[in-house]
Amino acid sequence: MPGRQQTASGDEARIGAFLPEIDAFIAFLELERGLSRPTCAGYQSDLHQCAAHLAGQGVRGWATVTGAQAAAWLHSLGGGRYTAASLARKLAALRGLARHLVREEIRDDVFTDLLGGPKLTRRIPGTLTAEEVARLLAAPVGGDAQALRDRAFLELFYSSGLRVSELAGLTLQQIDLEQGYLRVFGKGAKERVVPVGRKAAEAVGAWLASGRPHFVKQRTGSQLFLSKRGTGLSRVTLWLLVKKYARRAGITKNVKPHLLRHSFATHLLNGGADLRAIQEMLGHANIGTTQIYTAVETKRLLGQHAKYHPRNRDRV
């Protein structure tokens, strides 16, 4: 069963009456909706937790769960043990299952319709300035194979606004340096085409010509960026390398790989790029997700006004 997690025998016996519907729902999410395995695993864990609570209250299966019983489970999660985002995900998992039960004619009603969720406040993402990005990209110095590789992946990371998982999974077949684009398989295995800038194309070309051959081993596959063992760079390794070069560049911010993606989007918006185009490049399914970057620009403009407008100064 796709996405099926191992459950302790005692837990499985306790929630056994709830498992068939959970398993069918997770299979639907993974096979038909194309959700990633980590997302499905998170939903599955949430639903197992809910089922355990319901079983403890004497509920015998999803067909008889009431909205009040579901609300009691959510209430039991309070007390600061979970963040608002975690609670929202648990509610989303339960709502999705409730709708699935109606689709499968197991129930006539969506028992979660009256449930309210936690109020989420979206944090404005941090970014690097253009000058900080320039210092970061210049941090790998030298002409050895590792320096060529690290310059190439940093340039590509910022140039194309990739997720770290997308960068780690890139293959030779996905990138076309002559045409200046690459094909990315993002969340839910959805394909999108992302531009590759001139500087990034030059850096990747240098890595392919003079760096990558030094890392190729007998069992090396088609991964674009290789470790010294000849295997593809992992997400963890990329994260550590980004942190290393941020320190070398003298950047005091907490630089994580996703910060380059945020900077990519913010700098494009500041330069006049269309929000819809940025949405496509980032692979956001919803324009609302991309609109958070307009808040970054608004915050910057307000800061500039507060700092430089003469009527905002103590002395005019």
The answer to whether residues 239 and 102 touch, using CB atoms and an 8 Å cutoff, is no
> Among 4-18, 36-50, 207-221, whose mean pLDDT is lowest?
4-18
Q: Which of 143, 281, 260 is nearest to 203 (CA)?
A: 143
What integer pLDDT is reported at residue 302 of this predicted model? Answer: 58
Band of the pLDDT at 3, cuts 50, 70, 90? Answer: very low
Interval 180-222: pLDDT, tens: 999 988 776 678 888 899 999 999 999 999 999 999 999 999 9
For 82, the token pair is: 């979970």
> Among 114-123, 161-170, 182-191, 276-285, whose mean pLDDT is lowest?
114-123
What integer pLDDT is reported at residue 276 of this predicted model? Answer: 84
Most confident region among 73-77, 141-145, 256-260 by mean pLDDT:
141-145
The model's pTM is: 0.59
HSE, CB side, 13 Å, CA atoms: give it for residue 57.
19
What 3-state class would DSSP assign to 56?
helix
What integer pLDDT is reported at residue 289 of this predicted model? Answer: 67
Cα 211 from Cα 185, distance rounded (Å): 25
Catalytic residues: 163, 187, 258, 261, 284, 293
DSSP of 213-247, one letter per residue?
HHH--TT--SBSSB-TTSSBPPHHHHHHHHHHHHH
What 3-state class would DSSP assign to 175?
strand
What integer pLDDT is reported at residue 315 of this predicted model? Answer: 46
Band of the pLDDT at 314, cuts 50, 70, 90? Answer: low
- Mean per-residue pLDDT, 161-185: 91
Tell me the domains of the chain and their CATH numbers: 9-103 (1.10.150), 130-307 (1.10.443.10)
**Cβ-proximal residues to 205 (8 Å cutoff; 6+ apart), any chain:** 177
End-to-end Cα, the chain, rounded Å: 71
* Whole-number Cα distances in Å, 212 to 110, 239, 295: 55, 20, 40
Band of the pLDDT at 299, cuts 50, 70, 90? Answer: low
Band of the pLDDT at 266, cuts 50, 70, 90? Answer: confident
